[in-house]
Structure 1
Amino acid sequence: MKIIFIHGNGGCTADMNWYASADQRLRENGFNVIRETLPDNDIAHENIWIPYIRDTLGADQNSILIGHSSGAIAALRYAEEYPIKGSTLVSPYHTHLNLEDEKAGGWFDRPWNWRRISANQDWIIQFSSVDDPWIPIEEAQYIHAKLDTEYFEFTDRGHFLQTDIDDFPELITALIEKSV
């Protein structure tokens, strides 16, 4: 099974945070992992990222998308249009949060089709934290309510910017359980 990491915007790269350690642990458990820095990683325009995820990274009905922050938004919008196996959303949100960069990306220019997002995948795992300095927990709870995600809410993970290999074992465990 193929897993595709989708990092956040604001200049984030595929080598930041917990991505490399999760990549390593997922490979050790037999997953085919794609972890690349996407183009346009400052603003993360939808019209650039969605075709890149589809055409360059090869997301398809057998793929799992792991999206962090605006990468979670990309995973949601991707699943709105294309079938995938499942997704893992880390620090997702559903509004532009009144931030200019989020508005500029184009992700929030139309309503969400929650039914299609759900129908186009077998499952959705979600990780959010009450103490996230950028994403109000109500944003995450709204997505959980709309999509009936497998929901993990923490009180002490902030925006999930950990870098150590053991900092995000819940994500690894949840993905392994889904692949059985």
Structure 2
Amino acid sequence: MKALFIHGNGGCTASHHWYKSAARELSTLGLEVILETFPDNVIAHRDIWLDFMEKQLGGDSKVILIGHSSGALAAMRYAETHSLIGSVLVSACHTDLGDPTEQASGFYDTHWQWEAIKANQQWIIQFHSEDDHLIPVEEARFVREQLTPEYYEFKNRGHFMGSDSGGKDFPELVAAIKQKLQERNALSQLETQDVFTRTRT
């Protein structure tokens, strides 16, 4: 099972914010963690990023996507056409907010396929903060209404960057993913027991 981190645009890299810390924690859970700086990390053109994700994952459906900011956009767009285990959306939005760089990315050029995004994965977790200075909380709440994820809203975490409250760690994200994995393992054990019981009878 893989976990692919997708950082934000504006020159963000795999070494920024809480990515490395979360990646280390998730690797201890038995996940194959992929944390690399994406090409075109200033504008983050949709076609370049989705192609990079396709090559990294090779069409594997046993994957968890962890997208921050523009990375959350990439995670949602990828899920429109690919099967996943689940995704974590941090500081997600659904419009370009009138920003020229966001407009140039191409992520907003087509309508969002909300139902496909939901249908192609088992679960979605979403994080946002009321004081996010880049993406208004109303944007995240709209995404929440469309995707009905497991939603966590903070008051003082900003855009979940290194300079925001929380700094280099994001324990809530790790804990939420760990819980999903535990639920998955418990379900698998129940299914195995059920098969064993039916076989004996």
Q: Considering the TM-score relative to the shorter chain, is it more than 0.5?
A: yes
Per the TM alignment, residue 160 of structure 1 is displaced from its structure 2 partner at its CA by: 0.3
Indicate the residue corresponding to 1:107 in structure 2: 107
**Counterparts of 1:85-124 in structure 2 under 5 Å?**
85-124=85-124
Relative to structure 2, which stretch is displaced further, 147-156 or 52-61? 52-61
Change (3 A) 1:59 1:152: farther
Q: Secondary structure at the match of 1:81?
A: coil
In 2, the alpha carbon distance for the partners of 1:37 and 1:166 equals 17
TM-score by length of 2: 0.86
Larger fraction in helix: 2
Structure 1, residues 103-155: CA drift from partner, whole Å, max 9, x if none? 00100011101000000110000000000001000000000110001000000
Change (3 A) 1:59 1:38: farther
One-letter code aligned to 1:97: L
In 1, the alpha carbon distance for the partners of 2:31 and 2:17 equals 20
Does the alignment pair 1:61 with 2:67? no
Per the TM alignment, residue 33 of structure 1 is displaced from its structure 2 partner at its CA by: 0.3
**Counterparts of 1:46-85 in structure 2 under 5 Å?**
46-58=46-58, 60-85=60-85
Does the alignment pair 1:173 with 2:175? yes
Structure with the greater alpha carbon radius of gyration = 2
**Kept in 1: contact 2:6–2:66 (CA 8 A):** yes
The percent of aligned pairs where both chains have the same amino acid is 53
Question: What CA RMSD, in Å, does the superposition of the two structures yield over aligned residues?
Answer: 1.4
Q: Secondary structure at the match of 2:87?
A: strand
Per the TM alignment, residue 24 of structure 1 is displaced from its structure 2 partner at its CA by: 0.8
**Kept in 2: contact 1:53–1:59 (CA 8 A):** no
